[in-house]
């Protein structure tokens, strides 16, 4: 048993080489952070730190990273440390490096030196092929570090020599945009750091299969972190902007809670304008479409799972459900605008909105209900049937109750989806962009009185007028603010955004939590 | 096809329950009432209310006399109505767009402002204008191009990043992280598009305007990016679900052979979940194509093609924003042209959704070894 | 189908649990575990030796102080009633227990003189040298050829990537050779030689299991762990796999879990008997165990009095 053979099985403690690779990544992270700060206006690109402009500083960082990465490859290649590189870096890195260097060379030759396509194209092809060749032919340790390190080095030198500095700008003729250093310097830094860190990550675990895993994991983890941060920052941003307007004038007094943003409409006499009509509109919209769509969808789901046999008919239904599910909301809106609106009082109305959103809700509820009913174990049905209970009784008293949690979850999630829909209600429901409190739909109109003429009673539960009049809703309110020109009411807009976000995301949160809860219950 | 299947299912229906004459009569009367209500609504005859009252009465009788049968019939009618809704939308969209299609012919889909010639042969006709209601000229080319460009950008953002993130969540992240992040991402999938629109309009438009010095506020580049981010949570969550369905035993098999986790992911897990992952991506693409509000409020919505075509900083129009920005003051013909845009959207998205169903079915079959 | 099997198993588990539990409560019939019953002397080097291996699944103490030496180039059978921890022990030997979140392993497993639970163990290298065949066949949804060459390709021993083929330096010939050799070893070659590029999921259960054995052989392991490899197979396929295992013992160290005592008696050189609760009760030459076990409980188990 040779020594090397056993060393493969159990590795030594982290080596100097690994520490070197880690510190290169560390420098990269630092440069990355500064680049993001510049991108998000946290610091100016020409600000000076320790006597260097930020772009120069980033230049130092990327140069170090680039040198380090090239060094890592070289040290491994000459056998100064023992690593396990493959014969070649592989096709995918080769293609990517080829593309990268093709772009670099093409841009430099055409933009910096101003040559035409006859010169830059061959030059770029040559350089790109060269980079791909370096990735393919030498051993993996050189093939994956040299093109990466060299790129970081080039970027660093360009920043250091102020070829791209704080005063640089580039207006390509074919694009109606100008690239300013504030965008380009951070972008190039981030790109260089990512590429170089990937190579350093590979080096950290000695190249080969495990090195590739480390390099890939670094990028993937960073990506996941990035996505999550973008989404969280987005929500946090809305909250920070909206919390002020939302609670403006909020007070809890002897006469109860006074919350102008939620209780007021829009009126010149108001101190604080609010979104009361929009909240009421969204409420009735949701209630109405649930009343319309849920029985229909659940009934259809029952028929499809309990009565129908697999065949043409179920296929057609499936097709229709999927079609409805994927139809863009603006198409629903257009349909409502041209079909429903003329037939329902000939003006935009709450009722049209209810219908259109109900149509959108049907497939969402139908699909989840079908799943839920399908998940009810057959034993339940058999047990019930064995007692001589009729099929409908079984469905009514066994199947549907068992599927109820799943159905409700589907309804909640579906409602979350439609509550935020703007396009359809813009077309079929919206009226006044900034409704006053009086304009909030007053759907419930419970009255009962005796009259002298047939049928001698005058009872009403629901106000036809409210249903057939236009109404606002939270998403439409936000749209109205945008089209009115944000300048005057931006704060109002952020407040509305926050309310909308809270409403929709709570539906989602409740729906997802209940789904998780019932899934767990089902499993155990 | 639909008819014969209807009949077939009606026959099984009859065979299953013994239907006596009164039930049959009640059913027939109920259906007549319902059809009357529907026809009356579509043709605006004003008979909806009495017909619906009649139907409810018949329903009441049926519920009282033949509950099981009535329930079955009612759920059947409910099923039919979902098909009917899609059918109605389809028929109505097409009918409404016919006028514009008759007027413009294929030019609706291929008409350019200036004729496009290749070696002296005119390949695309010129209309003098893309979109001019005053001279009844309508071409969807700019809007289709806008949808294409923004969808391409959005997909370039959402597909690779989303799938990579799903892979991280499904295979790499520690359990506790997944249990927090997965539901979090699912919740964030619910952020309404108008919220993205508002942020895009107030914050990002200004940012891009200042730092890219674009001639006006709004660009395909920004819209594509925003829609891509908007589609990300959906792609992540659907792709993660499908990665999760790859059986552990398969992964164990690969690991026991001494492949690394990363090798197992790329050569076993991802290929095995390919159908679900591509369905996730197609879902994201479908979302991007149908996305309206964020694009409408960010873009300038001038009907025209960017110059040159690949200028992603162009500030033009997409199919959805064309509809949303013009429906309000559209005359009859213009509205019909907007319906044509709706038809193109509808068909594209339907095609995508059917494709994803196909892929899924096919790969499921392959995975089960047939 | 599979559900009912597992249910039946659970029931069997419960019954054995009750019986042995009963003896524990009575106390008098409870037999002491004896050190010397598990001491097994043999010539030559052990391939793997374990020292005081304990496994907990949460609060469930699934294995108690298992210490055995497994001789090289032989077949070692692990037998015992279901639920006694045989699979758990097997998974300790190539650290597949790491994949089970609830599992907590302590003790030492020495392989080539190194404790594989030491920090810094290269799991990839370890599992390359200690292969495993699972209870139910788990071929990859790829062609038969790719299934076999999976391990060597991932270890860089065979390169048939697109790049190498473009450069004309691919190892397709080596791959073909390897595929044929391993399939022959697993007695599958004649059945599949004409459809090497078909999806492996199209094979029958027995063929799939032999494919999985061939796949494990392709990485040229020193030790092969098999967890009831024949449990899902018909008698003909089973006897083929048994023949195969006996042949393998010439070059490999085989550790096989089986619930069939006849099978253990037929193919193994030594047998370790686990009993309910996760205890190793007796470990010796297979003949000795089956003809003249020291432990009363083992004798009861083997003669079918329980389990
Ligand atoms: N993944 C697991 N999680 C929790 N407990 C487990 C797990 N696998 C096995 N066990 C428990 O460990 C004990 C031994 O199981 P196992 O090793 O599969 O037994 P055998 O293979 O002998 O039938 C059983 O009690 C079983 O319930
Ligand atoms: Mg077992």
Q: Do C264 and C258 meet the contact criterion of CB atoms below 8 Å apart?
A: yes
Mean pLDDT of chain B, nearest integer: 86
What is the CATH number for B298? 1.10.3720.10
What stretch of H or E contains A133?
helix A117-136
CB B305 within 8 A of CB B127: no
Residue A170 lies in a domain: yes
pLDDT at C147 over 80: yes
Same domain, B231 and B347: yes
Give the end of a domain, one of A238, A253, A281: A238
Shared domain check, A275 and A168: no
Whether A175 and A292 map to the same domain: the answer is: no
Q: Which domain holds residue A295?
A: 263-523
The C-alpha atoms of residue A391 and residue A374 are separated, in whole angstroms, by 16
In a domain, B235, yes or no: yes
Contact A221, B172 (CB under 8 A): yes
Same domain for A312 and A393?
A: yes
One domain for residues A154 and A293: no
Contact C230, C209 (CB under 8 A): yes
Closest-CA residue to C279 (of C61, C6, C43)? C61
Same structural domain, A276 and A227: no
Domains observed in chain C: 37-302 (3.40.50.300)
CB atoms within 10 A of CB C106: 12
Contact C230, C263 (CB under 8 A): yes
Could you tell me the pLDDT band of residue C3, with boundaries at 50, 70 and 90? very low
What letters, b where the CB count within 10 A reaches 16 and e where it falls short, cover B300-315? bbebbbbeeeebbbbb
Q: What is the pLDDT of residue A392?
A: 86
Most confident stretch, A418-422, B116-120, B357-361:
A418-422
pLDDT at site C17: 41
pLDDT for the residue numbered A145:
95
> Chain A within 8 Å of B189 (Cβ-Cβ)?
yes
Write the DSSP symbol of residue A308.
P
Shortest distance, CA A200 to any CA of chain C (angstroms): 20
Q: How far apart are CA B246 and CA A517, in angstroms?
A: 23
- The answer to whether residues B341 and B322 touch, using CB atoms and an 8 Å cutoff, is yes
- Measured CA to CA, the distance from residue B203 to residue A43 in angstroms comes to 18
Residues B337 and B281 in one domain: yes
Q: What is the DSSP string of B259-277?
A: --HHHHIIIIIHHHTHHHH
Work out how many domains chain A is built from and give that number. Answer: 2
Which positions of chain A have pLDDT values less than 70? 1-14, 453-460, 486-488, 524
A88 to C163: CB separation less than 8 angstroms, yes or no: yes
And the tokens for A281?
């509109």
Q: What is the pLDDT of residue C2?
A: 40
Domain C-terminal end among B52, B87, B103: B103
Residue A221 lies in a domain: yes
Residues B335 and B242 in one domain: yes
Asked if the Cβ–Cβ distance from B314 to A176 is below 8 Å, we say: yes
CB C253 within 8 A of CB C44: no
**Peptide bond just before B308 cis, omega within 30 deg:** yes
Q: Rounded mean pLDDT of B222-232?
A: 93
Counted residue by residue, chain A has a size of 524
For residue C216, the distance in angstroms to the closest alpha carbon of chain B comes to 7
Same domain, B99 and B144: no
Range of the domain at B297: 140-368
* Confidence (pLDDT) at A7: 52
Which of A224, A486, A501 is facing B195, going by the closest CB pair? Answer: A501
Residue A119 lies in a domain: no
Domain boundary (B48, B81, B103) is at B103
| Cβ within 8 Å, pair A180-B199 | no
Per-residue model confidence as pLDDT tens digits over C21-80? 334 434 445 677 777 777 777 788 889 999 999 999 989 999 999 999 999 999 999 999
Number of neighbouring beta carbons within 10 Å of residue B344: 18
- B84 shares a domain with B149: no
Is there a contact between C112 and A6 if contact means CB atoms under 8 Å apart?
Answer: yes
C153 contacts C159 by C-beta, under 8 angstroms? yes
What local confidence, expressed as pLDDT, does residue A524 receive? 67
Phi, psi (rounded to 5 degrees) for A279: -65, -45
SS (H, E, C) chain C: CHHHHHHHHHHHHHHHHHHHHHHHHHCCCCCCCCHHHHCCCCCCCEEEEEEEEEEEECCEEEEEEECCEEECCCEEEEECCCCCCHHHHHHHHCCHHHHCCCEEEEEEEEECCEECCCCCECHHHHHHHEEEECCCCCCCCCEHHHHHHHHHHHCCCCCCCHHHHHCCCCCHHHHHHHHHHHHHHCCCHHHHCCCCCCEHHHCCHHHHHHHHHHHHHHCCCCEEEEECCCCCCCHHHHHHHHHHHHHHCCCCEEEEECCCHHHHHHHCCEEEEEECCCEEEEEEEHHHHHHCCCCHHHHHHHCCCCC
Residues B229 and B299 in one domain: yes
What does the pLDDT read at residue C1? 38
Q: Is residue B229 part of a domain?
A: yes
Q: Does position B7 have pLDDT exceeding 70, yes or no?
A: no
In whole angstroms, give the CA distance from residue B176 to residue C290.
48
Q: Report the pLDDT averaged over residues C155-167.
A: 86
- Contact B293/A477 with Cβ under 8 angstroms? no
Residue A269: per-residue pLDDT: 74
Give me the mean pLDDT over the C120-144 stretch. 91
On the 0-12 / 13-18 / 19+ scale of CB atoms within 10 A, B7 is exposed
B114 exposed, middle or buried (CB, 10 Å; 0-12, 13-18, 19+)? exposed
Specify the residue for token string 């049928």.
A455
Determine, yes or no, domain membership for B124.
Answer: no
Does B99 score more than 60 pLDDT?
yes
Judgement on whether residues B66 and B206 belong to the same structural domain of the protein: no
CA-derived radius of gyration, chain A: 32
Q: Is residue B315 part of a domain?
A: yes
Q: Are residues B46 and B193 in the same domain?
A: no
Q: Any CB–CB contact under 8 A between A177 and chain B?
A: yes
Report for B59-63, B221-225, C158-162: range of highest mean pLDDT: B221-225
Give kind and range of the element (H or E) at residue A447.
Answer: strand A444-450
Q: What tokens appear for A356 in the block?
A: 């259109």
Of the candidates B103, B127, B160, which is a domain's last residue? B103
Give pLDDT, residue A470.
78
Mutate to test the interface with A, among B71, B269, B340 (most CBs of A within 10 A): B71
Give yes or no: residues A223 and A278 share one domain: no
Contact (CB, 8 A) for C132 and C225: yes
- A-interface mutation test, from C117, C120, C219, most A Cβ less than 10 A away: C120
List the one residue out of B328, B260, B206, B81 whose CA is nearest residue A206.
B260
Residue A57 three-state SS: helix
User: What pLDDT, in 10s, does the model give residues B178-199?
Assistant: 989 999 998 888 899 999 999 9
Alpha-carbon distance of A491 to A496, in angstroms, equals 9
Helix (H, G, I), strand (E, B) or coil at A448: strand
Q: What is the pLDDT of residue A400?
A: 87
Q: Which residues of B touch A210 (CB under 8 A)?
A: 260
Report pLDDT for C25: 39
At residue B338, the pLDDT reads: 92
- Residues in A closer than 8 angstroms to B229, CB to CB, are 230-231
What residues contact residue B182 under an 8 Å CB cut-off, 6+ apart?
A: B169, B237, B240
Residue A118 lies in a domain: no
Query: C188-200 in b/e burial notation, b at 16+ Cβ within 10 A?
Result: bbeebeeebeebb
Residue A426 maps to a domain = yes
Measured at the CA of A344, the angle between CA A343 and CA A346, to 5 degrees, comes to 80
Is B257 in contact with C219 (Cβ distance < 8 A)? yes
- If asked whether residues A509 and A442 sit together in one domain, one would say yes
Q: Same domain, yes or no, for A427 and A328?
A: yes
3-state secondary structure of B127: coil
Tell me, yes or no, whether A114 lies in a domain: no
B288 and B183, same domain (yes or no): yes
Contact A209 C154 (CB under 8 A): yes
Of the candidates C112, C155, C164, the beta carbon closest to that of A9 is on C112
If one counts every other C-beta atom within 10 angstroms of the C-beta of residue A234, the result is 17
Distance, CA of A259 to CA of A279 (rounded, Å): 13
Mutation for testing the A interface, residue in C95, C156, C159, C220 having most A CBs under 10 Å: C156
Q: Are A224 and B165 in contact (CB under 8 A)?
A: yes
Between C267 and B45, the more confident residue is C267
For C154, the closest of B175, B249, B259 (CB atoms) is B259
**Same domain flag for B198 and B328:** yes
Tell whether B311 lies on the interface with A, counting CB pairs under 8 A. Answer: yes
Question: Whose alpha carbon is nearest atom 27 of ligand 1?
Answer: C83
Cα–Cα distance, A269 to A259 (Å, whole number) = 16
Q: Cβ < 6 Å from ligand 1: which residues?
A: C 57, 60, 62, 80, 82-88, 100, 102
Domain C-terminal end among A205, A238, A271: A238
Same domain, A169 and A318: no
Strands A48-49 and C130-133: unpaired
| Domains contained in chain B, number | 2
How many angstroms separate the alpha carbon of residue C81 from the centre of ligand 2? Answer: 9
Q: What is the mean pLDDT of residues C67-94?
A: 92
Residue B45 CB coordination number (10 Å): 12
Q: What is the pLDDT of residues B11-54, one digit of tens each?
A: 655 555 556 777 788 888 888 888 888 888 888 887 878 888 88
Q: Specify if B18 maps to a domain.
A: yes
* Domain contains B39: yes
Q: How far is CA A432 from the centre of its chain?
A: 31
Residue C61 Cα to ligand 1 midpoint, Å, equals 10
Which one of B256, B366, B370 has the shortest CB-CB distance to C96? Answer: B256
3-state secondary structure A324-381: HHHCCHHHHHHHHHHHHHHHCCCCCCHHHHHHHHHHHHHHHHHHHHHHHHHCCCHHHH
Is residue A307 domain-shared with residue A228, that is, in the same domain?
Answer: no
* B196 & B279 share domain: yes
Decide if A18 is inside a domain: yes
Report H helices in A161-275. Answer: 181-204, 208-246, 260-263
In a domain, residue A216? The reply is yes
Could you tell me if B160 and B22 lie in one domain? no
Task: Please report, for the domain that includes residue A315, its CATH number.
Answer: 1.10.3720.10
Two structure tokens written together for B78 = 């409910």
CB contact under 8 A, A235 and B188: yes
Query: Is B127 part of any domain?
Result: no
Chain B environment of A45 (Cβ under 8 Å): none
Same structural domain for residues A302 and A404? Answer: yes
Q: What are phi and psi of A239, to 5 degrees?
A: -60, -45
């Amino acid at each position: 048993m040779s020594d090397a053979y056993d060393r493969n099985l159990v590795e030594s403690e982290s080596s100097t080489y690994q520490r070197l690779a880690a510190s290169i990544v560390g420098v990269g992270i630092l440069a990355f952070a500064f680049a993001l700060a510049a991108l998000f206006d946290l610091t100016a690109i020409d600000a000076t730190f320790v006597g260097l402009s930020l772009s120069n500083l980033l230049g130092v960082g990327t140069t170090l990273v680039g040198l380090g990465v090239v060094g890592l490859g070289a040290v491994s290649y000459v056998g100064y440390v023992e690593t396990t590189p493959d014969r070649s870096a592989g096709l995918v890195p080769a293609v990517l490096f080829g593309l990268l260097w093709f772009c670099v060379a093409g841009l430099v030759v055409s933009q910096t030196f101003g040559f035409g396509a006859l010169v830059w194209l061959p030059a770029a092809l040559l350089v790109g092929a060269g980079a791909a060749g370096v990735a393919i032919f030498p051993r993996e340790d050189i093939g994956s570090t040299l093109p990466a390190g060299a790129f970081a080095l080039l970027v660093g030198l360009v920043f250091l020599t102020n070829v791209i500095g704080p005063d640089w700008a580039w207006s390509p003729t074919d694009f109606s945009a100008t690239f300013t250093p504030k965008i380009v310097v951070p972008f190039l830094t981030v790109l260089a750091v990512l590429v170089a860190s990937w190579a350093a990550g590979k080096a950290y675990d000695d190249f080969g299969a495990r090195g590739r895993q480390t390099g890939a994991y670094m990028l993937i983890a960073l990506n996941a972190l990035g996505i999550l941060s973008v989404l969280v920052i987005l929500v946090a941003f809305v909250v920070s902007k909206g919390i002020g307007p939302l609670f403006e004038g909020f007070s809890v007094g002897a006469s109860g809670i006074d919350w102008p943003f939620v209780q007021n409409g829009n009126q010149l006499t108001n101190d604080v304008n609010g979104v009361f009509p929009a909240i009421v509109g969204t409420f009735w919209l949701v209630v109405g479409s649930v009343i319309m769509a849920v029985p229909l969808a659940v009934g259809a789901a029952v028929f499809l799972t309990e009565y129908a046999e697999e065949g043409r008919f179920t296929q057609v239904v499936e097709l229709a459900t999927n079609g409805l599910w994927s139809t863009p909301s603006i198409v629903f809106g257009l349909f409502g605008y041209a079909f429903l609106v003329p037939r329902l009082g000939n003006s935009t109305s709450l009722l049209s909105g209810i219908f259109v959103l109900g149509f959108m809700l049907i497939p969402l509820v139908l699909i989840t209900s079908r799943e839920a009913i399908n998940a009810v174990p057959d034993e339940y049905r058999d047990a019930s049937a064995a007692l001589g209970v009729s099929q409908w009784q079984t469905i009514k008293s066994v199947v549907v109750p068992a599927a109820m949690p799943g159905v409700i979850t589907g309804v909640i999630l579906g409602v979350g989806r439609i509550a935020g829909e703007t396009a359809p209600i813009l077309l079929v429901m919206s009226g006044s962009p900034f409704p006053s409190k009086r304009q909030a739909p007053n759907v419930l109109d419970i009255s009962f009185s005796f009259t002298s003429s047939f049928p001698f009673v005058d009872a009403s539960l629901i106000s036809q007028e409210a249903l057939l009049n236009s109404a606002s809703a939270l998403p439409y309110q936000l749209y109205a603010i945008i089209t009115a020109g944000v300048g005057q009411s931006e704060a109002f807009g952020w407040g509305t955004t926050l309310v909308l976000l809270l409403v929709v995301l709570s539906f989602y949160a409740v729906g997802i939590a209940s789904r998780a809860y019932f899934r767990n219950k089902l499993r155990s | 096809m639909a008819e014969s299947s209807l009949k077939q299912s009606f026959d099984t229906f009859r065979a299953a329950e013994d239907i006596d004459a009164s039930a049959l009569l009640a059913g027939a009367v109920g259906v007549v009432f319902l059809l009357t209500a529907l026809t009356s609504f579509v043709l605006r005859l004003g008979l909806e209310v009495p017909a619906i009252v009649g139907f409810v009465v018949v329903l009441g009788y049926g519920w009282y006399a033949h509950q099981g049968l009535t329930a079955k019939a009612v759920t059947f009618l409910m099923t039919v109505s979902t098909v009917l809704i899609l059918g109605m939308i389809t028929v109505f969209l097409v009918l409404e767009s016919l006028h514009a299609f008759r007027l413009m012919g294929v030019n609706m889909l291929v008409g350019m402002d200036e004729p496009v010639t290749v070696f002296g042969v005119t390949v695309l006709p010129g209309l003098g204008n893309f979109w001019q209601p005053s001279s009844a000229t309508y071409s969807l080319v700019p809007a289709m191009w806008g949808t294409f460009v923004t969808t391409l950008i959005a997909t370039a953002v959402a597909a690779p990043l989303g799938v990579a993130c799903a892979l991280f969540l499904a295979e790499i992240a520690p359990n506790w992280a997944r249990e927090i992040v997965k539901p979090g991402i699912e919740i964030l999938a619910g952020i309404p598009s108008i919220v993205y629109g508002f942020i895009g309009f107030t914050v990002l438009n200004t940012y891009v305007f200042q730092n890219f010095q674009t001639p006006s506020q709004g660009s395909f580049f920004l819209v594509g990016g925003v829609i891509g981010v908007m589609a990300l949570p959906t792609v992540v969550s659907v792709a993660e679900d499908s990665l999760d369905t790859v059986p552990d035993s398969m992964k164990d098999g690969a690991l026991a052979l001494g492949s690394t986790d990363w090798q197992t992911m790329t050569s076993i897990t991802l290929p095995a979940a390919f159908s679900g992952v591509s369905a996730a991506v197609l879902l994201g693409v479908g979302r991007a194509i149908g996305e309206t509000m964020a694009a409408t409020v960010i873009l300038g919505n001038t009907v025209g093609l960017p110059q040159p075509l690949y200028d992603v900083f162009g500030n033009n129009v997409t199919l959805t924003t064309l509809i949303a920005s013009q429906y309000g003051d559209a005359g009859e013909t213009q509205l019909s042209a907007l319906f044509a845009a709706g038809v193109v959207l509808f068909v594209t998205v339907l095609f995508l959704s059917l494709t994803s169903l196909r892929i899924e079915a096919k790969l499921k079959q392959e995975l089960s070894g047939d | 189908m599979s559900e009912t099997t597992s249910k039946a198993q659970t029931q069997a588990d419960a019954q054995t649990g009750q019986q042995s539990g009963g003896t524990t409560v009575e106390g008098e019939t409870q037999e002491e575990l004896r050190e010397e019953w598990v001491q097994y002397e043999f010539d030559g080097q052990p391939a793997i030796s374990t020292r005081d291996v304990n496994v907990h699944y949460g609060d469930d103490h699934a294995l108690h102080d298992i210490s055995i030496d497994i001789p090289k180039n032989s077949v070692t059978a692990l037998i015992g009633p279901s639920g006694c921890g045989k699979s758990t022990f097997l998974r300790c030997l190539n650290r597949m227990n790491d994949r089970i979140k609830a599992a907590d392993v302590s003790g030492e497993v020495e392989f080539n003189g190194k404790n594989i639970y030491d920090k810094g163990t290269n799991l990839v290298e370890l599992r390359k040298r200690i292969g495993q065949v699972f209870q139910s066949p788990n071929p990859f949804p790829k062609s038969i050829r790719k299934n076999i060459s999976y391990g060597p390709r991932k270890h860089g021993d065979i390169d048939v990537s697109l790049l190498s083929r473009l450069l004309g330096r691919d190892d397709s010939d080596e791959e073909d050779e390897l595929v044929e050799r391993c399939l022959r070893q697993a007695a599958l070659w004649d059945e599949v030689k004409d459809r090497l590029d078909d999806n492996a999921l199209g094979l029958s259960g027995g063929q799939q299991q032999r494919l999985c054995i061939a796949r494990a052989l392709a990485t040229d392991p020193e030790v092969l762990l098999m967890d009831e490899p024949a449990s899902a197979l018909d008698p003909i396929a089973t006897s083929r796999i048994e023949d195969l295992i006996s042949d393998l013992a010439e070059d490999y160290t085989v550790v096989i879990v089986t619930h069939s005592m006849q099978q253990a008696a037929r193919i193994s050189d030594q047998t370790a008997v686990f009993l309910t609760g996760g205890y190793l009760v007796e470990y010796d030459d297979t003949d000795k165990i089956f003809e003249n076990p020291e432990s009363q409980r083992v004798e009861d188990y083997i003669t079918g009095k329980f389990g």
